[in-house]
Structure 1
Amino acid sequence: MAGNIRTFAVVLALGALVTGCGNDGDNGDRGGGSADRADVSPFTGEEAESGPVLAVKIDNSPDARPHTGLDQADIVYVEQVEGGSSRLMAVFSSHLPDLTGPVRSARESDLELLRQFGEPALAYSGVQTKLKPLIADAPLFAESPDAVPDAYVRDDAREAPYNLYVKPQQVLDAAPDASEASDIGFRFGDAPGGGEPTERYDVSFPAAGFSFTWSADEKRWMVAMDGTATDVGAATVVVQEVTIRQSQYHDVLGNFTPYTETVGSGDATVLRDGQAFPAEWERSGEEDGTEFTTPDGDPMRFAPGPVWVVLAEKSG
């Protein structure tokens, strides 16, 4: 896929309208769908014990698949990296897999994205030398293999660099002061009106593609990457239109690293319950969460369950 053109393909459902489901509507007015209740996750709107936040940078090249532990993430962010490829940031709190990966390197814009989580732990394979001071000064617990070597293992059945995996619990043991999950702007509850029945929604990056297909039986969107199906699903998918600009960093081939701006505002499409909803997003500052609203300005409520956020370049 050439250029920086993002293509959305929406295939309308041929059957009857799939009605919204989720928590009762009252929960939609409270952070995380009842963030004031300790037994409800502000990231998924589901019952869960409050736990520290761990973000893991995960490779998404074809050689890195299938992933391990991705299905237990509360939130998965899809980011653009060099050459128009994609990388994932998986955020864990409600559940911790024994192992997850393959783990890859962090990027400058990760620091802006992570600031809304307070001071989370970050598992990553490393960063280029020029970025190390920014990582060191960031309000997070940077737990690379250099910091906690025992938390990382190599899979001899795979070739490097697609064979590095992390043990989440050991990373959190090394970061006992990591912030616990808190309200980052997500709201959960019944679906609003105005949705368009949708069987499949496609998002294209310059050199990567994602398809989200609604499974009525599973009550979630099944994720395919570059045309390859996975067993990973999400109750809600947010396609967040953002500014992606060139940063001052580049890889060894000279490809500049994209910087994804997650502070600001713009349009979004929210997928839930077999429907696509127009939405808007706003994040006032790095320490603030991201608010999603309907075109009328009401809170855009998500379906309880894992959330995928695709940070796609806005058109124009």
Structure 2
Amino acid sequence: MRAPRMITVTLAGAAVLLPVAACSSDKPAPGAAPQATATTPVAEETPQGKTHPFTGLPNENVKPVLAVKIENTAAGKPQLGLKSADIVYIEQVEAGLTRLMAIFSSKIPAKVGPVRSARISDLHIVPQFGKPAFAYSGVQSKMLPFMAKASLYDVGDTRNPGAFFRQPGRVAPYNLFANGKQLLSKAPEASKAKDIGFTFGDPPAQGGVDKKSWTVRWPAARFTFDWSPAKKQWLISQDGKKDMAAEGGQQSAPTVVIQYVQTVRSQFHDFHQSYTPLVKSIGKGKAIVLRDGKAYKANWERADEEHGTTFTTEDGEPMNFAPGQVWVALASRKPVTP
């Protein structure tokens, strides 16, 4: 019998830095398409079949990747479609606020949103997936040349208007939603899901500290992850309020990764003169991995834009995630507003 091998994934970024505007000045983009000691890792092939590289869950049919930029302020809540995501990234944007990028492959939501504009860090995230479909609601004009060169299929509201609609009962610009399948239909050659550096399996035998709750702060946003033994999930709250899903129930995930990165100002800013943050994901750093009611210290490393991020324990072994949805919070030890 062939021995199981670890599923690994790289988090690669784009080779270009992209400027973006604040939400209030967004313009539609007409741009061109452009293991740990004494643990047992999950095998790539199990008696039940193959597992998905993004979640570690059984999955026989690998599908294309869809990335969607989603609003993350109170005005845009509750969000729709996040429960279907394989991975959710939290990124800092102007004025110390945050915005989400949801990655879909194993499940494609019928509706997702509110869809908002792209940001500089987005194009440092999506290339790790090859050339995925990327849905967003606009960028500033200075970003258009970079969008055209980026490793993605542009399925934004300008190039694919038929996939978008205005959700009744919400106010603009927080009412723009999209049909997931229609988004992908405009990118028939979008890359299918592949290894991006994540490893799934049993937790490390040592090193974890019992935690009931963990809070992560940005200059103008705060996320709290509370462990639920009953659901075996980290329940997500933002700014002191439960983060509820439009489909019902509270947003939650079995694994939350707090990846500590350096956040600096880019050369671009919005019309309020707030600089667009640039999240630096190249190099080495520290991370906290929350799973099974414990917090594990971890290290992350990324050599360059063409390679992804590896997460390891303090002993240098792969840091296994719990199978299921993964949230990655790109945070700073000392949050600053660029």
TM-score, scaled relative to structure 2: 0.83
Task: Answer yes or no: is 1:167 the counterpart of 2:208.
Answer: no
Residues 280-291 of structure 1: pairs in structure 2 closer than 5 A: 280-291=299-310
Task: Answer yes or no: is 1:218 the counterpart of 2:237.
Answer: no
Residues 1-150 of structure 1: pairs in structure 2 closer than 5 A: 29-31=6-8, 33-35=42-44, 39-48=50-59, 49-150=61-162
SS in 1 for 2:307: coil
SS in 2 for 1:305: coil
Q: Which letter maps to 1:240?
A: Q
Task: Answer yes or no: is 1:204 the counterpart of 2:223.
Answer: no
Point out where structure 2 has 5 or more consecutive residues left out of the alignment: 10-41, 245-249
Aligned counterparts of 1:137 and 1:284: Cα–Cα separation in 2: 22
CA-based RMSD of the aligned residues comes to: 1.6
SS in 2 for 1:130: helix
- Quote the residue 1:268 is aligned against: 287
- Quote the residue 1:245 is aligned against: 264
Q: Deviations over 1:196-245 (max 9, x none)?
A: 00000000110001000001111110111111113111110000000111
Aligned counterparts of 1:34 and 1:165: Cα–Cα separation in 2: 37
In the TM superposition, structure 1's runs of 4+ consecutive aligned residues that sit over 2 Å from their partners are 26-39
- Quote the residue 1:233 is aligned against: 252
Point out where structure 1 has 5 or more consecutive residues left out of the alignment: 1-25
Q: Please report how far the alpha carbon of residue 129 of structure 1 lies from its aligned counterpart in structure 2 after TM superposition.
A: 0.4
SS in 2 for 1:83: helix
245 and 308 in structure 1: CA distance in 2 versus 1, 3 angstrom threshold: same
- Cα contact 1:113–1:286 (8 A) shared by 2: no
Aligned counterparts of 2:44 and 2:304: Cα–Cα separation in 1: 21
Q: Please report how far the alpha carbon of residue 35 of structure 1 lies from its aligned counterpart in structure 2 after TM superposition.
A: 4.5
- Cα contact 1:292–1:299 (8 A) shared by 2: yes
Count, aligned residues: 291
- Deviation larger for 301-310 or 284-293: 284-293
Q: Please report how far the alpha carbon of residue 285 of structure 1 lies from its aligned counterpart in structure 2 after TM superposition.
A: 2.0
- Cα contact 2:86–2:325 (8 A) shared by 1: yes
Q: Please report how far the alpha carbon of residue 36 of structure 1 lies from its aligned counterpart in structure 2 after TM superposition.
A: 6.3
149 and 205 in structure 1: CA distance in 2 versus 1, 3 angstrom threshold: same
Aligned counterparts of 1:177 and 1:35: Cα–Cα separation in 2: 25
- Quote the residue 2:208 is aligned against: 195
- Cα contact 2:260–2:287 (8 A) shared by 1: yes
- Quote the residue 2:23 is aligned against: none
Q: Which letter maps to 1:148?
A: N
Identity %: 49
SS in 1 for 2:144: helix
